Amino acid sequence: MKFASVRVVTPDIERLVRFYQRLSGIEAVRPADGFAEMRFEGSTLAISSEHLIKLFNAGAAIAAANQSAILEFEVDDVDAVFERMNARGTTIVMPTTLMPWGNRSLLLRDPDGNLVNIFSRPRH
């Protein structure tokens, strides 16, 4: 088995795609109307319009209702991401902080309220 992707369902796909493109610097691939993928090394963040869920999987997912999952992205420079996203008015939950296990971590919220962790591992 290979872990392939995480899909986020949203009422406003364009807004969410813009956010993750700005965060990552990666251009979204759009294989279908109402569906986009951010293809990272080793995995994919899929973004689906709530409209598609209603058409094909009614009731299976509720847009912008996540209260348990955290999307995590490893970067080289957490402080640069903080500066870029803070300048854009992104909701910062926790500014860049050194965690007890050595990671530098930044918590923010995407436009739908999903929690996003941006972190870097300690350099040895």
What is the architecture, at CATH level 2, of domain 1-61? 2-Layer Sandwich (3.30)
Contact 17, 10 (CB under 8 A): no
Model pTM greater than 0.85?
yes
Q: What pLDDT score was predicted for residue 90?
A: 94
**Domain residue spans in the chain?**
1-61, 69-124
Q: What pLDDT score was predicted for residue 61?
A: 81
The pLDDT > 70 percentage for the chain reads 100
Q: What pLDDT score was predicted for residue 16?
A: 97
Task: Pick 69-124's CATH classification: 3.40.50.2300, 3.20.20.80, 3.10.180.10, 3.40.50.1000.
Answer: 3.10.180.10
Using CB atoms within 10 A of its CB, is residue 110 exposed (0-12), middle (13-18) or buried (19+)?
A: buried
Beta pairing partners, 108:
92, 116
Report pLDDT digits (tens) over 70-115.
999 999 999 999 999 999 999 999 999 999 999 999 999 999 999 9
